[in-house]
Amino acid sequence: MHPLFLSCGLLCDEAIWADVPARLADVADVHVVSFSSFSSLGAMADQVLMAAPERFALAGHSMGGRVALEVWRRAPQRITGLGLLNTGVHPTRGAEHDSRALLVRLAQTHGMKVLAAEWLPPLMGASAARVAQVMPSLTAMVERATPAIFAAQSNALLDRPDARPLLPTINVPTLLLSGTNDTWSSHTQHADMQRRVPHATLVEIAGAGHMAPIERPDAVARALRGWLAAVCRPTRPLESGQDRPRSRN
């Protein structure tokens, strides 16, 4: 089976991918990589490259998408397919330094449980029932981290390079995925990325926000499965996909 590495986002570990790996176990050899020990995207990318085989597919969520782009920058010849989920390509802008600093200070002063209560709800876009179902797992995930880990990962994001020049160089099947309610990394942002990537398909997940892999693991796994089919048969045209429309909660 084809090796597939899933890279995690800010303060995320295997929990963010929920049961996505199990849903792909019949078509891919799935590995999840998290980055609690690193303070730069480059170091995170190097960790992926050290853990992965010579050729592999790579999909990253949020900060993990930024890591995936750094892996592409370093070793494009090793990547068979690229998945960029709920992520972006721009360098820092606006008040991002200040807003991230406020959250880091909150974690340092009041702890990770208080941070989780402040940080997680705006990221969610699923139904109220689904949010209530997954929030305990997400809160526990954040609490497994520390303020020092949060500060290091936040600094890594603030130091990120402009990834836009990389997009036209991506010559492997590429999946771009966003939730209809993702206010952090919108569908419009991913559509702009699609226009710059020669081999990209764009999937919008209904009833999901920034945490799409755990909010809608069924739809995310379907999108990844379709992308993996293109990865394993690279001469076959990519199929565009869009999840069913949904009513705003």
Give the pLDDT of residue 235: 53
- Spell out the residues 6+ positions from residue 170 whose beta carbon is closer than 8 angstroms to its own: 72, 76, 82, 197, 198, 199, 200
What's the pLDDT band for 148 if we cut at 50, 70, 90?
very high
Q: What is the mean pLDDT of residues 41-45?
A: 98
Half-sphere exposure of 94 (CA within 13 A, CB side): 5
Domain with 104 in it: 1-249
> Is pLDDT at 129 greater than 70 in this prediction?
yes
Nearest to 17 by CA among 47, 60, 55: 60
What's the pLDDT band for 45 if we cut at 50, 70, 90?
very high
Residue with the bigger pLDDT between 46 and 237: it is 46
Q: CB 168: neighbour CB atoms within 10 A?
A: 10
Q: What is the pTM of this model?
A: 0.92
Rounded to whole angstroms, what are the CA distances from 200 to 20, 38, 52, 165, 216?
21, 29, 23, 15, 21
* C-alpha span between 241 and 70 (Å, rounded): 26
Q: What is the mean pLDDT of residues 155-159?
A: 97
Nearest to 83 by CA among 22, 1, 2: 2
> Is pLDDT at 244 greater than 90 in this prediction?
no
Which amino acid makes up residue 188? Answer: T
CATH number at residue 163: 3.40.50.1820
* C-alpha span between 74 and 49 (Å, rounded): 9
> Is pLDDT at 10 greater than 50 in this prediction?
yes
* C-alpha span between 28 and 4 (Å, rounded): 6
78-116 per-position pLDDT tens digit: 999 999 999 999 999 889 999 999 999 999 999 999 999
* C-alpha span between 50 and 55 (Å, rounded): 12
CB 69 within 8 A of CB 220: no
> Is pLDDT at 248 greater than 50 in this prediction?
no
Nearest to 135 by CA among 113, 107, 154, 109: 113
State how many domains the chain has.
Answer: 1
Look at strands 2-7 and 56-61 and give their pairing: parallel
> Is pLDDT at 233 greater than 90 in this prediction?
no
> Is pLDDT at 130 greater than 70 in this prediction?
yes
What average pLDDT does the chain have?
93
Give the pLDDT of residue 234: 53
Q: What is the mean pLDDT of residues 213-227?
A: 98
Q: What is the mean pLDDT of residues 189-203?
A: 96
* C-alpha span between 200 and 191 (Å, rounded): 10
Give the pLDDT of residue 138: 98
What percent of the chain is predicted at pLDDT more than 90? 92
CB 51 within 8 A of CB 248: no
> Is pLDDT at 23 greater than 60 in this prediction?
yes
H or E element, residue 58:
strand 56-61
Least confident piece of the model among 1-10, 98-107, 230-239: 230-239
